[in-house]
Chain A
């Protein structure tokens, strides 16, 4: 037996050693950034704070009671570190960018810098961790008692102190340690290099101790095989079959959530991380560490069950086995190992929780209720923070102690730990949503966590008081007011389940369902949307969204005043000087840009949390007493302003489009107008030409003079011809105008196009003969029906044929007419051997008032014929175009869609 006094003295000396280590670690870290403290090895070892006295003592007990189940607690983290590297990397990146200090800070920051969510998460964490702290107190207390035994000598100065008193003493000592360790100063990034160094050292100690005990057990047990053989001979069967049951899955899921969400794990894995690449090493090294830790657990448990008297606490085998074998030195080492695992957990967990409490509860309260605080004394916020943290540490350990006090009759360590795991797991869905799902909203997350926590409190936390409270026991058995389906361990009639599985199932299911449905039903605020994008797209964006402070009216002086209070004079000065240097100005005249204010906010967030930093800076920047709600409203307004300006931009783009359309329309109108002018001018010209002759000859005839009869006749005939021409011209103009405007009551009916062509040829017969022109017929179609107006179609053909005649100056003039049906179209070609149409004129021939340049004698046309013909054909859904023809001259082609032949009645 060891003396309790000796053991306690050793413990104190050990803690002293840790303190020295932490002190020098801090100094070293501050002096040299690239020391071994920043190595992946130290990082990995600090993560193994996951292995607490639960592992050191509890896992052995768990193995003795439930076989391989203890392994799941290590399997979950292994999966996360090996398989979910991207999740951790994402968390680390986000936390570095946003100076995240805790899980509460992460969720609060992500969901619109909500202080309420921060408070909620903090409260749940503090309450949820209490059983876990209690577990450590219980383990340390039990281990001291186990070492000291029951003898008067062994108890030494502990004589007359029961386990409660001892636990209280342990709790008080732990609080003192933690305060000494963790709250000596406030660091901007909440990185505690010294503490991490001490934790890493402890990780080595606890591993060495457990392995030492394991090797010892294997040695005195005569090898692994002998241990297991002896055990089975004695009828001690440890269930080594891994039953893949619901409890197994539950603990696996809980441990996955725990390794990410436990405040201390978040602290060491994410906050204390100084280099993302360390995660790669930790990805294999941490699982390896856990494997080394758990490799001897089963042999120790089995051997303990074999050799220790019945009724011994299996949780303490690691300690009692060496003691029973008289190996006091090894027992002391084992005790220090277990003590290590407990202290490292308590110190880190308390620090992590105290940061949450001070940043999310105390600071906002101070900021809200004391406006004078900032301008009061010199050290201001920095000192206030330390006080707040020390107070929080005491509070946290007190809660742990009270939980221990109320549940002290329960033996096993592992189930206590799982209660905490279940509570902390309530953050997991929110955390995943925070970094992967943009639509997750504050309201949904808050409701989900609250509901999950409530279920946890009812189904998991409350039943743990069963042994100390009559009413709780009754409640468990019959439900509240006798309502059976509300029994904490059989909710909604789900009976016969393992209580842990039951609690985890309901709490997490409700949590996830509310989170999902709530997020789909609610609309996130503007600030939430900004943060959501910043978090979820962390690997896509280079910078952070800026400009939350739009109404910047603060001077650099005001900002420095705030920064100095929070960060300390040195850091604040360094920050401002850097900014001034970057801008190339003197620090005294530094203009606080939104960019700089955003950076300052991130720095402050490192010390007091995102929400508090935001409120604090908004006070300074907005120059008044601005509440968070107002601030968020401001951010909302900013967003609205952005949206409004986007809206404006959209509208003005539409206006621009409309303006362009109007411009186009206007240009078109101007074009039409000038076309109209041109048309009128043309018409005027065309009308004036015959009028000129008529007037001139009339005057000649009216004057008394010596005109002979033949002259007189000739002049009268000219007048008559010109009058006819004038009439025809006016008719054509009206006709074309009507065709173009489409006002005429035009009806397309099936007509025989071939008949119309024949009729046109007959009409032109006289003209043809007059000019001595030969008509040559190519292939002719049979009677073909097209949709159209027979008279109009005939008009078109007459126009084409007479053009071919009129402008033909060949010696042996020929017009060739061909018709046929090709792919559903009636096609007529009218070709001649005249001069043809010159290349430059081909585009102009269908224009109004264009006339064949080398006009023959007959100039009767006004140049409207082709324009009119083309309009007519278009009205019949056909086309009129100039094509290369079979003869040297021009060839005009008419195409008209053929109507399905209707069988004659």
Chain B
């Protein structure tokens, strides 16, 4: 899996154990995965590995998930990239902000694995695709 190849899912998450679990379940679902642990890295990896879907945690170091989302939506190349927001705060306000910024999905931690996989699948447009 070369760094310059397009990946299915880019995971942006700074908590190592959560990242590991996401990596595991999404890989098991059959997608190629790349990851980033801070906001700056996310933007760079989006440009470089052209993911089909971005799973974006809100609380990221250096640049917050919302900030990243805003930047992506402002860029013509990335404004249509499907983004699934992950948040641990679980507040209505976060969900609203995410919708306003143009997030395509919203999942609250702690999530069920099936929920995340389902949401990613939907964003990939693979309903009924490989299990």
Do the two chains belong together in a single complex? Answer: yes
Chain A residues, CB < 8 A from B110: 688, 691-692, 694-696
Q: Is A689 an interface residue (CB 8 A)?
A: yes
Inter-chain CA distance A143–B67, complex, in Å, is 121
Return A899 CB to nearest CB of chain B, in Å: 44
Chain B residues, CB < 8 A from A697: 17, 21
Contact yes or no, B15 A693, CB < 8 A: yes
Q: Is B4 an interface residue (CB 8 A)?
A: no
Chain B residues, CB < 8 A from A857: 16
Most buried by B among A684, A692, A718, A854: A692
List which A682-735 residues lie within 8 A (CB) of chain B.
684-685, 688-697, 699-700, 703, 705, 718, 721-722
**In the complex, which residue of chain B has the Cβ closest to the Cβ of A721?**
B17
Most buried by B among A681, A688, A721: A688
Most buried by A among B17, B91, B112, B114: B17
Number of residues of chain A lying within 8 A (CB) of chain B: 24
Select one of B62, B111, B114 contacting A692, CB under 8 A.
B111
Inter-chain CA distance A859–B13, complex, in Å, is 14
Contact yes or no, A696 B90, CB < 8 A: no
Chain A residues, CB < 8 A from B97: none
Return A850 CB to nearest CB of chain B, in Å: 12
**In the complex, which residue of chain A has the Cβ closest to the Cβ of B59?**
A685
List which B36-91 residues lie within 8 A (CB) of chain A.
59, 61-62, 88-91
Q: Is B96 an interface residue (CB 8 A)?
A: no
Chain B residues, CB < 8 A from A689: 15, 18, 88, 109
Chain B residues, CB < 8 A from A703: 113
Inter-chain CA distance A699–B61, complex, in Å, is 28
Known pairs A681-B89, A700-B21; A859 contacts B16 (CB<8 A): yes
Contact yes or no, A718 B20, CB < 8 A: yes
**In the complex, which residue of chain A has the Cβ closest to the Cβ of B15?**
A689
Known pairs A685-B59, A688-B88, A705-B28; A700 contacts B17 (CB<8 A): no
Chain A residues, CB < 8 A from B111: 692, 695-696
Contact yes or no, B21 A696, CB < 8 A: yes
Return A855 CB to nearest CB of chain B, in Å: 8
Q: Is A853 an interface residue (CB 8 A)?
A: yes
Contact yes or no, A693 B17, CB < 8 A: yes
Contact yes or no, B113 A696, CB < 8 A: yes
Return B36 CB to nearest CB of chain A, in Å: 15
List which A844-874 residues lie within 8 A (CB) of chain B.
853-854, 857, 859
Contact yes or no, B89 A722, CB < 8 A: no
Known pairs A681-B89, A859-B15; A688 contacts B21 (CB<8 A): no
Chain B residues, CB < 8 A from A696: 18, 21-22, 25, 110-111, 113
Contact yes or no, B90 A684, CB < 8 A: yes
**In the complex, which residue of chain B has the Cβ closest to the Cβ of A857?**
B16
List which B1-21 residues lie within 8 A (CB) of chain A.
15-18, 20-21
Inter-chain CA distance A691–B91, complex, in Å, is 16
**In the complex, which residue of chain A has the Cβ closest to the Cβ of B114?**
A699
Chain B residues, CB < 8 A from A693: 15, 17-18, 20-21
Contact yes or no, A692 B89, CB < 8 A: no
Chain B residues, CB < 8 A from A688: 88-90, 108-110
Chain B residues, CB < 8 A from A695: 110-112
Return A522 CB to nearest CB of chain B, in Å: 72
List which B77-125 residues lie within 8 A (CB) of chain A.
88-91, 108-114
**In the complex, which residue of chain A has the Cβ closest to the Cβ of B109?**
A692
Inter-chain CA distance A718–B114, complex, in Å, is 20
Known pairs A685-B59, A705-B28; A699 contacts B18 (CB<8 A): no
Return B65 CB to nearest CB of chain A, in Å: 13
Inter-chain CA distance A694–B90, complex, in Å, is 17
Inter-chain CA distance A826–B28, complex, in Å, is 58
Contact yes or no, A700 B113, CB < 8 A: yes
List which A821-854 residues lie within 8 A (CB) of chain B.
853-854
**In the complex, which residue of chain A has the Cβ closest to the Cβ of B61?**
A853
Contact yes or no, A692 B18, CB < 8 A: yes
Return B110 CB to nearest CB of chain A, in Å: 4
Return B21 CB to nearest CB of chain A, in Å: 4
Contact yes or no, A722 B90, CB < 8 A: no
**In the complex, which residue of chain B has the Cβ closest to the Cβ of A714?**
B20
Select one of A685, A691, A692, A700 contacting B25, CB under 8 A.
A700
Chain B residues, CB < 8 A from A721: 17
Chain B residues, CB < 8 A from A854: 61
Inter-chain CA distance A293–B111, complex, in Å, is 122
Contact yes or no, B17 A699, CB < 8 A: no
Contact yes or no, B88 A692, CB < 8 A: yes
Contact yes or no, A722 B28, CB < 8 A: no
Inter-chain CA distance A685–B112, complex, in Å, is 17
Inter-chain CA distance A688–B89, complex, in Å, is 8
Return A114 CB to nearest CB of chain B, in Å: 77
Inter-chain CA distance A568–B92, complex, in Å, is 88
Contact yes or no, B21 A681, CB < 8 A: no
Chain A residues, CB < 8 A from B88: 684-685, 688-689, 692
Chain A residues, CB < 8 A from B91: 681, 684
**In the complex, which residue of chain A has the Cβ closest to the Cβ of B86?**
A692
CB 8 Å contact bits of A412-442 with B (1 = contact, 0 = none):
0000000000000000000000000000000
Return A723 CB to nearest CB of chain B, in Å: 12
Return A692 CB to nearest CB of chain B, in Å: 4
Inter-chain CA distance A803–B2, complex, in Å, is 37
Contact yes or no, A718 B61, CB < 8 A: no
**In the complex, which residue of chain A has the Cβ closest to the Cβ of B91?**
A681
Inter-chain CA distance A692–B14, complex, in Å, is 13
Return A835 CB to nearest CB of chain B, in Å: 13
Chain A residues, CB < 8 A from B25: 696, 700
Return A704 CB to nearest CB of chain B, in Å: 12
Known pairs A685-B88, A689-B18; A699 contacts B109 (CB<8 A): no
Inter-chain CA distance A64–B90, complex, in Å, is 120
Inter-chain CA distance A718–B24, complex, in Å, is 14
Return A198 CB to nearest CB of chain B, in Å: 101
Chain A residues, CB < 8 A from B112: 695, 699
Return A190 CB to nearest CB of chain B, in Å: 86
Chain A residues, CB < 8 A from B108: 688
Chain B residues, CB < 8 A from A681: 89, 91
Most buried by B among A684, A689, A696, A697: A696
Contact yes or no, A691 B61, CB < 8 A: no
Chain B residues, CB < 8 A from A853: 61-62
Chain A residues, CB < 8 A from B22: 696
Inter-chain CA distance A694–B25, complex, in Å, is 14
Return A720 CB to nearest CB of chain B, in Å: 11
Chain A residues, CB < 8 A from B113: 696, 699-700, 703
Inter-chain CA distance A189–B52, complex, in Å, is 107
Contact yes or no, A691 B109, CB < 8 A: yes
Inter-chain CA distance A690–B110, complex, in Å, is 9
Inter-chain CA distance A695–B21, complex, in Å, is 10
Chain B residues, CB < 8 A from A705: 28
Return B112 CB to nearest CB of chain A, in Å: 6
Chain B residues, CB < 8 A from A692: 15, 18, 21, 88, 109-111
**In the complex, which residue of chain B has the Cβ closest to the Cβ of A697?**
B21
**In the complex, which residue of chain A has the Cβ closest to the Cβ of B16?**
A859
CB 8 Å contact bits of A670-683 with B (1 = contact, 0 = none):
00000000000100
**A-B contacts besides A691-B109, A705-B28, A718-B17, 15 pairs, CB < 8 Å:** A684-B89, A685-B88, A688-B88, A688-B109, A689-B109, A692-B88, A693-B17, A693-B20, A695-B110, A695-B112, A696-B21, A696-B110, A853-B62, A854-B61, A857-B16
What are 13 A-to-B residue pairs whose CB atoms are below 8 Å? A691-B110, A692-B109, A693-B20, A694-B110, A696-B18, A696-B25, A696-B113, A697-B21, A700-B21, A703-B113, A705-B28, A718-B17, A722-B17
Closest 9 CB pairs of A and B: A696-B21, A693-B17, A688-B88, A692-B109, A692-B110, A695-B110, A691-B110, A685-B88, A699-B113
| Partner-B contacts on A (CB < 8 A) | 681, 684-685, 688-697, 699-700, 703, 705, 718, 721-722, 853-854, 857, 859
| Partner-A contacts on B (CB < 8 A) | 15-18, 20-22, 24-25, 28, 59, 61-62, 88-91, 108-114
